[in-house]
Structure 1
Amino acid sequence: MIKNLLFDFGDVFINLDKKAPELALSKLGIRVITEEMNNWHNSYEKGLLTTQQITENYLESFPQLTAFSFKNAWNSIILDFPEHRLNWILKLAKQKDYRLFLLSNTNEMHIEQVIKNMGAIRYSRFQNCFERFYLSHQILMRKPDLEIYDFVLQNDNLKASETLFIDDTLLNVAGAASMGIKTWHLEPGRDDVTQLFSLKKELF
C-alpha cells in the first residue's frame, strides 16, 4: 500500500527544455560539452561548487562569455509551471491521504529562475505542499546515486515498499527501484503527473 509520494520537480511539475542550454552555448561558440564541464555541472548540483565558482570556470575557459550570457544560457532550460499541475498538488496536499515529498536534482541558479518565473508567492504555495523539499545542492547529494534515496528513506522514516517515486529520468527511476522503492517513469509529452491515480491505479 502506497503511503508516501516522492516527486521529481523538472518535467514532472515544471516544464523544461533540456536541449536549450547546450544550444544557447553553441551559439556562443561552445559546441562540445566536455567531461570536465559535466563534472562542473554535477558538482554544482551537489552544492560542491558555488554559483560564482561555476561561472568563473566557464568565463576562464571561454573568454567570449560574460557572467550575464552564461547565466542566460544556463537558465534557458527553465520553462513554465502549468496551473493545472499546481492546482492538482494543492488539492492532493489538502486531502492529506499521502505524505508528500519532493526530490530534485537542481542548483541555485535554476531555483532562482524558477522562483522568478513562478513568483515568490506561487512558488511558496507549491513548496508548502510537501512535508520535505529536498534539493540536491542543499543536501549535497544527487540522483541517481543510491545514497540520496537511502537518505530520504532514513531521514523521514519511510518504508521503500510504501513509497512511490515519480521521475522523468530512467536512470533516476532505476536507482530508486534498486532500493525497493515503487516507481513511475513519467514520460514528458505523453504522461502528466495529474494522471497519476488513473495511469498507475494498480499501485493504489
Structure 2
Amino acid sequence: MAVTTTNLILGPATLYQGSFGAAEPADTNVAINATPAASAWTDVGGTMDGVKLVVDQTYTALEVDQIVDRAGSRLTKRDMSVETTLAEPTLENLSTLMNGGTAASGSGYKTFEPASASSATQPNYSAVLFDGWGPSSFRRRVIVRRVLNVESLELGYTKDKQTGLKAKFAAHYVSSAIAPLHIAEATS
C-alpha cells in the first residue's frame, strides 16, 4: 500500500463545551473553518498534551462445540470519551469539570461552589466539540453529544510545573435516533 502523505495529521485542536442538546454547527461549517456559534458553545481555552477521542469497544465471542475457532462476535459494550488537560484552570473550567455548580461574581471577584444534590439527582450532562486537522490539511470536527466529566479533579500548585485540569468527558447514550458521536470532515 502506498503512503498518501497528505493523509498524515499533526497539530492542535480547539475544544468547546456546550449544553446537552445545544444547536450543532452545520457540517458545511467545517469546510470553511467556521467556529461554532458563541451562544451555544464556549471555547475552554488552551489545552496541554492534545485532545483525543478514545473509543473502547468490547466484543463478546460466539462459540459452538463443533468448531475450535471463534464462530463470530457481537459488540456488547462501547465506552467513548474525549480526554485532555485544560491549561486554563479558571472557575468556569472548574464548573465544566465538576459537571455544573453555582457561579457568582461581584465587584472585583468571582466564586464557584459545586452542586450539593443528593446522589439520586440527575447529573448535569453537557456536550463537547473539538475542531482539529484532518487529511489534506482540511478541518475535522468531532461532536460528542451527551457527556459527563468522570475524571478526578486535582487543582495543584507546584513551583516548577504548570497547573492543568485533567478531563475525561465520558460519552453517554442519547437516543435510538441520535448517535452519541458525530464526526464531520472537510474535503475541499
User: TM-score, structure 2 length as denominator?
Assistant: 0.26
Structure with greater Cα Rg: 2
Higher helix share: 1
Higher strand share: 2
User: TM-score, structure 1 length as denominator?
Assistant: 0.24
